[in-house]
Structure 1
Amino acid sequence: MQIRAQFFEEHTEFRGLFFNALLRTPSHLQHEVNNLKKELDTINLSFLKNQLSKITLKDSISVDG
């Protein structure tokens, strides 16, 4: 995440493109974008699980869903 933040600080012109592609993907590109971001999704999920493992969750909430 730090590397991504640093990249977008240095290349601000790509920030909007990146986030729009992830959050508002045109339907005709959805399949291709999903394939390209599989690794990013895995990294993000691993990061989130790691962060959640450091805190106490309510009994009704688990990291795995």
Structure 2
Amino acid sequence: MSDEQKRLFIDSIYEKMQLKPEYNRYLRDIKLAILNEYVEFVEADEDEDGWYYEHAFELAKELLYSLL
């Protein structure tokens, strides 16, 4: 999926929700789920080239700085 397709998917799911959380919280929850997936790959030793570790680290930093 392209970035635009991902955004359309995320926005269309949000619009269809009957009980909507605040939009930024919705996006943060999605990012936390993605971070969890990255960490699971690292923990399972399925990250031979470090791609998941790098992306997990960057996403974790982004999430942390968004809280400050």
TM-score w.r.t. structure 1 length?
0.35
Larger radius of gyration, structure 1 or 2? 1
Q: 1 or 2 for the larger relative contact order (CA 8 Å, sep ≥6)?
A: 2
Greater fraction of residues in helix = 2
TM-score between both structures, scaled by the size of structure 2: 0.34
